[in-house]
A and B are shown apart, each in its own frame.
Chain A
Amino acid sequence: MSDPTRLRITPPGTHPPLLYPEYRSTQERAPLQPPVALDQGAEELSVAQFTRSLLKPNDADLTRQSTGEPLGQRIVVSGRVIDEDGKPVRNSLVEVWQCNAAGRYFHAKDQHDAPLDPHFFGVGKMLTDEQGNYRFVSIKPGAYPWRNHPNAWRPSHIHFSLFGNAYAQRLVTQMYFPGDPLFPYDPIYNSVPAEARSRLVSAFDLGLTVEGIALGFRFDLVLRGRGATPFGI
């Protein structure tokens, strides 16, 4: 049955399982009971309205949030947020955060022995435009060690938080950089079904690259769509 108002259930082979033992903290945190199906109503199909007045001038330029320039490789990250039906997700909040070029987060609990950069906080937010496009300027994040397993390192990544246009479209994910040699060793990246992993990897884009200034990376995101035939029917 096709229902033009409801969001399609995401097909298997998209999201990671909640329990992925190689990512150790899932062992004590992942729910083990099956989820209960909930009908989508007005609350699930509406979303918080974020106005442009909530944005500060340099929220989308992470290299200009201090009194000086951060160290590292300047990058531009841009892409389009669409739904599974190819429709743009307009005027929708995108929040991003990342570590600095040395692999250290501006965060009280990050104890990694790498330097903080006094000019880089690694946080940003923006709204998509009428075509679903977003764009921000940053520094290429470094890789950093973590305690999940011996000699564990996270590949360079940027965290993304998206609200979409419906409560049930909410997505938090991570963007990676092409060709990272750490991919085979990272359980968070590999928790995603193999066929879907490449959707988390940005593409180098000469068109987005700003001559003399910053390398460009393209990262498109796809949220749940409405109205097509639900999976499995």
Chain B
Amino acid sequence: MPQPTPSQTIGPFFIEALKWAVELAVTPPDGVRVSGRVLDRDGKGVADALLEIWQPSWAVSQPLPGLQRVATDDAGRFAFFMPRPDGAQVHANVTVFARGLLCGLFTRVYLHPKDDAAAVSLPAGVPAARRGTLIGKRSAEGYEWNIRLQGEGETVFFEI
């Protein structure tokens, strides 16, 4: 049986190769902005992370249907779009790559129509104390959601 190819880090110098897909992303008129930072153990912004947001049932008219790719800025800040949680919760699948990550990480962010974190239904197996790491909070300009790679409030990552 063929043996799977091991993962390696994306390194710090990926953007020139991968930005074509970042530039294809459009601002969907019916979307809500989700912004935040990728943070390391010390709470420092991760300036060289790449996120891929996969929402196959939304934004099918974009050049890359369902996919958004965004890079963090010098402060580790990112922003992408999700459908507005009108009436029911929504979620996005998010893959995280960065220098210092030897494997890509899978996570999700959930938005609740009434911003009621306790009411969000999450995959079985997410420890109660860590639920908040997967839930966006309403902010002035949309929703805020941070990705903490390690340490206090470490984001839940999934094995799929």
A joins B in a complex: yes
A-side interface residues toward B, CB under 8 Å? 7, 9-11, 14-18, 20, 23, 25-33, 35-40, 42-44, 46, 48-50, 54, 82-86, 95-97, 99, 105-107, 109-110, 121-125, 159, 161, 167-168, 170-174, 188, 191-193, 196-197, 199-200, 221-225, 228
19 contacts between A and B (CB under 8 A): A16-B6, A18-B103, A29-B46, A29-B99, A30-B101, A36-B158, A38-B159, A38-B160, A48-B56, A105-B16, A123-B17, A159-B10, A161-B14, A167-B160, A170-B104, A171-B7, A172-B97, A199-B4, A228-B1
In the complex, the number of residue pairs spanning A and B with C-beta atoms less than 8 Å apart equals: 207
Task: For A44, list chain B residues within 8 Å (CB).
Answer: 93, 160
Chain B binding surface, main DSSP class = loop
Contact A28 B54 (CB under 8 A): no
Q: Bound complex: CA of A84 vs CA of B12, how far in Å? A: 29
Closest Cβ–Cβ distance, residue A103 to chain B (whole Å): 12
Most buried by A among B18, B100, B155: B100
Total contacting residues, chain B, CB less than 8 A: 61
Contact A38 B158 (CB under 8 A): yes
Task: For A105, list chain B residues within 8 Å (CB).
Answer: 13, 16
Contact A36 B159 (CB under 8 A): yes
Q: Bound complex: CA of A9 vs CA of B16, how far in Å? A: 32
Would you call B26 an interface residue if the criterion is a C-beta within 8 Å of the partner chain's C-beta atoms? no
Contact A109 B12 (CB under 8 A): yes
Report if A16-B11 is in contact (Cβ < 8 Å); known contacts: A37-B159, A48-B65, A85-B1.
no
Task: For B63, list chain A residues within 8 Å (CB).
Answer: 54
Task: For A200, list chain B residues within 8 Å (CB).
Answer: 5-6, 8
Contact A35 B159 (CB under 8 A): yes
Task: For A37, list chain B residues within 8 Å (CB).
Answer: 125, 158-159
Given contacts A159-B10, A224-B4, 6 further A-B contacts (CB under 8 A): A23-B9, A27-B41, A28-B150, A43-B93, A97-B17, A167-B160
Task: For B130, list chain A residues within 8 Å (CB).
Answer: 33
Question: In the complex, which residue of chain B has the Cβ closest to the Cβ of A6?
Answer: B160
Which 6 pairs across A and B sit closest by C-beta, in order of nearness? A25-B100, A97-B17, A29-B100, A123-B17, A48-B67, A38-B158
Closest Cβ–Cβ distance, residue A137 to chain B (whole Å): 16
Contact A29 B54 (CB under 8 A): no
Closest Cβ–Cβ distance, residue B16 to chain A (whole Å): 5
Question: Contact check: which of A25, A125, A222 meets B4 at CB < 8 Å?
Answer: A222
